[in-house]
Amino acid sequence: MKVFNNSFTVGTNKRCEMIDITDKIQDIIGDVGISEGTAVVYCPHTTAAITINENADPDVVHDILLMLSEIVPHSHSGYRHSEGNSDAHVKSSIIGCSKTIPLSAGKMQFGTWQAIFFCEFDGPRRRTVHVQITGE
């Protein structure tokens, strides 16, 4: 069993945005040459997150961001955090900053429609993604 730690950066362009990072993760898995094991994809930011969902129809991403904005509004009379990004912190905890994906035969065990997204909730910014590959 080996452990490989990698990172890459993502530039985001809007306040709220989901960016498909599947190819970057798959490239790292190929580079380290792990066949059976695990990928942990980790976002070290508190106003962003990682999720897995459909990338075939971009309307799915639209609808996810729409509903998150309704569930956690940008402005709210009860917010105390003075930076104006309380909603982004809440969304980060709801979606989560870490996803673990089983690898088999050197591939993420994704279903037909799955892709992995970096979720920006307080952009635009330059962000970092950590990727840890463990296995043999």
- Judged by the rule CB under 8 A, the positions of this chain that interact with a copy of itself are 1, 3, 5, 36-38, 40, 42, 44-46, 51-54, 57, 59-60, 62-64, 66-68, 71-72, 76, 78-83, 86-87, 89-90, 92-102, 104, 109-111, 113-114, 128, 130, 132, 134-136
Count of beta carbons in the 10 Å neighbourhood of residue 105 = 7
93: Cβ–Cβ under 8 A, 6 or more apart, which residues?
A: none
Strands 2-11 and 126-135: antiparallel
Minimum CB distance to a copy of itself, residue 14 (Å): 17
Minimum CB distance to a copy of itself, residue 27 (Å): 18
Residue type, 70: E
Cα 32 to its chain centre, rounded Å, is 21
Pick 10 or 90: Cβ nearer a copy of itself: 90
